[in-house]
Amino acid sequence: MPVLGLGGFFWRAQDPEGLASWYREHLGVGNGCGTDENGETNEWLYYPEPGPMVFQPFKATTDYFEADKAFMFNFRVSDLDSLCEQLNAKGIEVITKAEWDMPEVGKFARIHDPEGNAIELWEPAAKPA
């Protein structure tokens, strides 16, 4: 019985409505975002574009994201530089480090939501022609 894909991600928040609104406004992520195969939206569903996804546990001692957090979001993006400019313009701190970028994998940046959850933004490497 194979799993077809990620069906949802649920987590605790101090202000669930405010946090959901922040994700929709700044990242276009969450219920009501994207469209289905018929170009329709649904207030209860999020339709991400098809593409690769990494499903990877990290060691409990990792320093790749905050020790007091059990998870870190990673969102695929199509134009990392433009998104980072938009986020900076809205007062959201964007962190980049040259060592995060890998030519064969892509470019990365990091932001945090209002509750301190790490969000990694990933622009996958272009496929060779």
Nearest partner of 23 among 128, 117, 126, 129, judged by Cα: 117
Full pLDDT tens readout for the chain, 129 residues: 588 888 899 999 999 999 999 999 999 999 999 999 999 999 999 999 998 899 999 999 999 999 999 999 999 999 999 999 999 999 999 999 999 999 999 999 999 999 999 999 999 998 776
pLDDT for position 43: 93
Say how far apart CA 114 and CA 51 lie, in whole Å. 27
Domain 16-124 has CATH 3.10.180.10: yes
Give the separation between CA 103 and CA 93, rounded to whole angstroms: 24
Give the predicted TM-score (pTM) of the model: 0.88
3-state secondary structure labels for all residues of the chain: CCCCCCCCCCCCCCCHHHHHHHHHHHHCCCCCCCCCCCCCCCCCCCCCCCCCCCCCCCCCCCCCCCCCCCCCEEEECCCHHHHHHHHHHCCCCCECCHHHCECCCEEEEEEECCCCCEEEEEEECCCCC
Alpha-carbon gap, residue 76 to 48, rounded angstroms: 9
Beta strands 106-112 and 118-124 are: antiparallel
Q: Which amino acid is at 33?
A: C
